Amino acid sequence: MNQAKRRPRKLGWRFVVIAVVVAFLLISLVRNVWMDVYYIPSASMEPLLLTGDRVLVSRTDFATAPIQRGDVVVFDGRGSFTPLNSGNDPITDAAIGAGQWLGLVPNNNIYVKRVLGVAGDTVKCCSAQGQLEVNGVPISESYLYPGDVPSELKFDVTVPQGKLWLMGDHRDVSLDSRSLLGMPGGGLIDTDRVIGRPWATVWPLGRIHVLERDAVRAP
């Protein structure tokens, strides 16, 4: 009689464990194939994204349409923005990785910036009017942080195939392609390092909204 009573209890625990494992695998599949959540650790993309925002990132947008000027992208900065072997000890890495996976702490290898130059573009700063130029045409940047100029640093870069020129919207505080001029790669990021496009902010609750795409037009 005792065994007959315990058997359903064991089956119940097994069911819970199996359900948790299946749910974890489904969430992992969704986050690796379709959508993921990332923590915004800095003010470099203000006013669009604020420090502490959690953003839902679509991994599929650029599978159906190419990356365009004006797109905001989330990308892996290892080998360009951060060293390839910029890790801690395995135990610390595992703890940090768990927090990053849950969206509780920032991933120091992941960045979010705006694309200002795609393959074949020449990006220059600045025009006689103090504007950023793409292919010789001054562009209007309505997304810039109020009071910021397009760039205090002068540059003139032609973007080769498979690369992107990226800048933050809050130019005065942004570590971006300009900061890497003179370094290996010249501040240009490989397109295959792009993870996806921020689609919406999902936290804090008062900041929940869909992020529109801003195209930067130039010939």
Q: Are residues 88 and 55 in the same domain?
A: yes
Residue 216 lies in a domain: no
Q: Are residues 8 and 93 in the same domain?
A: no
Q: Are residues 115 and 177 in the same domain?
A: yes
CA distance 75 to 111: 5
Q: How confident is the chain (219 residues) per 10-residue block, as mean pLDDT?
A: 52 63 52 73 94 91 86 88 47 38 60 95 92 93 94 94 96 92 84 92 92 65
Q: What would the pLDDT profile of 14-42 be if each residue is shown by its tens digit? A: 766 665 555 555 555 455 555 788 899 89
Q: Are residues 29 and 119 in the same domain?
A: no
Q: Are residues 21 and 99 in the same domain?
A: no
Q: Are residues 114 and 9 in the same domain?
A: no
Q: In what side-by-side order are the strands of the sheet with 155-158?
A: 137-138, 132-134, 122-125, 155-158
Q: Give the number of domains in the chain.
A: 2
User: How is residue 147 written in tokens?
Assistant: 């009071």
User: Active-site residue 113, yes or no?
Assistant: yes
- 161 and 119 Cβ atoms separated by less than 8 Å: yes
- 119 and 163 Cβ atoms separated by less than 8 Å: yes
Please tell me the predicted confidence (pLDDT) of residue 213: 77
User: Active-site residue 140, yes or no?
Assistant: no
Residue 219 lies in a domain: no
Q: Are residues 59 and 98 in the same domain?
A: yes
Please tell me the predicted confidence (pLDDT) of residue 22: 55
Q: Are residues 102 and 186 in the same domain?
A: yes
Catalytic residue, from 44, 80, 174, 177: name it: 44
- Reference 196, options 32, 86, 84; nearest CA is 32
Q: Are residues 25 and 92 in the same domain?
A: no
Stated as kind and residue range, the H or E segment containing 72 is strand 72-76
Residue 174 lies in a domain: yes
Please tell me the predicted confidence (pLDDT) of residue 198: 92
Please tell me the predicted confidence (pLDDT) of residue 64: 78
Please tell me the predicted confidence (pLDDT) of residue 118: 96
Residue 154 lies in a domain: yes
Q: Are residues 53 and 109 in the same domain?
A: yes
Whether the pTM exceeds 0.85: the reply is no
- 66 and 121 Cβ atoms separated by less than 8 Å: no
Q: Are residues 185 and 109 in the same domain?
A: yes
Chain centroid to CA 191: 12
Q: Are residues 5 and 107 in the same domain?
A: no
Residue 191 lies in a domain: yes
Domain containing residue 107: 37-210
Name the H helices within 34-73. 61-64
Cβ neighbors of 152 (< 8 A, separation 6 or more) are 171, 172
Catalytic residue, from 28, 42, 58, 113: name it: 113
